[in-house]
A and B are shown apart, each in its own frame.
Chain A
Amino acid sequence: MSSPDLRAELCGISLANPLVNGSGTLDALAAGTLGLGAFVTKTVTLHPREGNPPVRIAETPAGMVNSIGLANPGLDAFCADHLPRLGDLGVPVVASVGGWSPSEYATAVARIGAHPAVAAIELNVSCPNVESGCISIGTDAGETRALVERCRAETDVPVLAKLSPSVSDVAAIATAAAEGGAHGLVLINTVRGIAIDRDRLEPLLGGGGGGLSGPAIKPVALHAIFHARAATGLPIIGMGGVASAQDCIEFLAAGATLVGIGTSLFADPGLPERALPELGGLMRRHGVEAIGDLTGIAHPQVSSSTRA
């Protein structure tokens, strides 16, 4: 058997390997791309945001709760200072966009999507750490459909919808995004969580609640990916607790086309470069020659009955 082919493709974008970062978990301009096949930016909003007051992160069993609050330089500075340099990273760039209204998203998508450095746009409709907008769109099927439809009309690059697991039926939201014309899905964003200060017995994080990430949420992520894939057939960047090559292969089997690493990059920035050869070894063991052949193999051939 020839050596396994790690090259991946998402919505017509070619990647050297199927690993990417989760939005907001890597500053590639400061830290480089760590061997990832593509880079996803931190979510950009129309206006600059300082982010939430500290404390912003709390460690929890097998993970962490964060309340960063979409700290970002805003659309103007992002387009002027960041985008030109992102083109030099040497990997496809997915720009993540957030907002408080469909017109804010549309404005950002039109400007960012027109930049040659951008291969695709992620619509973040799932950030748990801002008071309105964003997740309040992504928890409503009708609003999600309308937002994706509007943003698609603003750009020629593929539009991906990043969804929250903190909804009653993630497959229904995924279906709405597909109906709106999403080229692909990104899931999951963090799971809504809260941490209580052990001494003061008050919410620990400056933003009150937060988003849970890390290995603790892996089964939640696999469930959401499995059912979003079954419901839509769309390509998915799957993420949520990925910490090893074995995790990557499980996410691909559940229906992911690419696999995102987030919290584990914080604890272990060497993970992608270590996991890639291991992933090749796992492909060999499973008799798979191309990474794309793994996507969705956990799904039964007749996929009618397994909605949980």
Chain B
Amino acid sequence: MPPPTRSLEVAGVEAVGAYTLLRLRDAGADHGAPGQFFMLRAEPAPADAYLPRAVSAAWAGDGEIAFLLDVRGPGTRALAAARTVSVLGPLGHGFDLAPGPSILVGGGIGAAVLPWLRRQLAPLGEVRTVLGFRSDAQAVCAGLVDPGATVVLDPVLVTEPLARLLPAEATVYACGPDRMLEAVAALCAEHDVPCQLAMEAAMACGFGACYGCAVRIDGTWKRLCIEGPVVEAARVLA
């Protein structure tokens, strides 16, 4: 069974440069692990955004769960203006935290999944972060992820600072646009470095029913909500 949908009160909405941080009051709930995701829908549901939005938490704890949104259409606009939000989750498979050093790679709004991951990886070893953005306004969110992050702006690609860190005895965790993930996966494969990708696909349900979120995994179309959204890079490159 999917977990029951909960109705959560908005604790705060604030701009983080080009993005929007949505904090929901959520005491005592199971927030799952970094990289898992939640289906979010403003209440009442807007007629022009009938489906919920699949979003991974930026962090959770202290009676709150926070999401960093790229407000672009009616669904995210309604979420940023909501007083209560319907929340289904946590869903899917999150990151597998490996002991030892880590390298976090984020592109654009893909950085949104990294703050919580970094907090959990920090006790396991050194964490280095490389982030790529299209604009200074987008890059403001780097401070939420890692104040010491290496940040590059378009047209410089995030693979450039990543290449300087490799080879390394580390696990790479990446989230961003598909083409960035492909490049990161290829680079890690070249250096034989384990790599986990947090992927994205349009989802209607988030719990395996709609078959909308097809992604090429293990050489065939699979449902990202069930197989992922975090997938070992080798399964995507196959």
Chain A residues in the interface with B (C-beta under 8 A)? 24-27, 30-32, 34, 42, 50-59, 61-64, 66, 68, 71, 214-215, 263, 265-270
Contact = CB atoms under 8 A, between A and B. Distances in A.
B211 A68 contact: yes
A31 B1 contact: yes
B214 A266 contact: no
A18 B199 CA distance: 38
B50 A57 contact: no
B201 A54 contact: yes
Given A34-B1, A266-B209, 14 more contacts: A24-B211, A27-B208, A31-B207, A31-B208, A50-B220, A51-B214, A57-B204, A58-B202, A59-B50, A214-B50, A265-B209, A266-B210, A269-B5, A269-B88
Nearest to A33: B1
B4 A267 contact: no
Given A53-B221, A56-B212, A66-B212, A267 B204 contact: yes
Nearest to B73: A59
A263 B203 CA distance: 12
> Contact size class for B?
20 to 34
A269 B48 contact: no
A241 B210 CA distance: 15
A56 B211 contact: yes
A215 B213 CA distance: 21
B50 A263 contact: yes
Contact of B2 (A66, A71, A269): A269
B2 A267 contact: no
A50 B51 contact: no
Contacts of B2: 31, 269
B97 interface: no
B127 to A, nearest CB: 32
Nearest to A26: B209
Nearest to B221: A50
Contacts of A214: 50
A269 B41 CA distance: 13
Contact of B212 (A57, A62, A267): A57
Given A31-B209, A51-B221, A269-B5, A56 B47 contact: no
Contact of A30 (B45, B212, B220, B226): B226
Most buried by B among A25, A55, A56, A61: A56
B210 A57 contact: yes
B5 to A, nearest CB: 5
B131 to A, nearest CB: 25
Contact of A62 (B5, B47, B203): B47
Contacts of B49: 59
Interface in B1-40: 1-2, 4-5
The 3 closest A-B pairs by CB, nearest first: A57-B212, A266-B205, A266-B204
A192 B220 CA distance: 27
B215 A59 contact: no
B50 to A, nearest CB: 6
B209 A32 contact: no
A267 B51 contact: yes
Interface string B203-233: 1110111111111000011000010000000
9 contacts: A24-B211, A25-B210, A31-B1, A34-B1, A51-B221, A56-B202, A68-B210, A266-B205, A266-B210
Nearest to B202: A57
Which of A58, A266, A270 gathers most chain B CB within 10 Å? A266
A51 B214 CA distance: 9
A212 to B, nearest CB: 12
A264 to B, nearest CB: 8
A59 B51 contact: yes
Contacts of B132: none
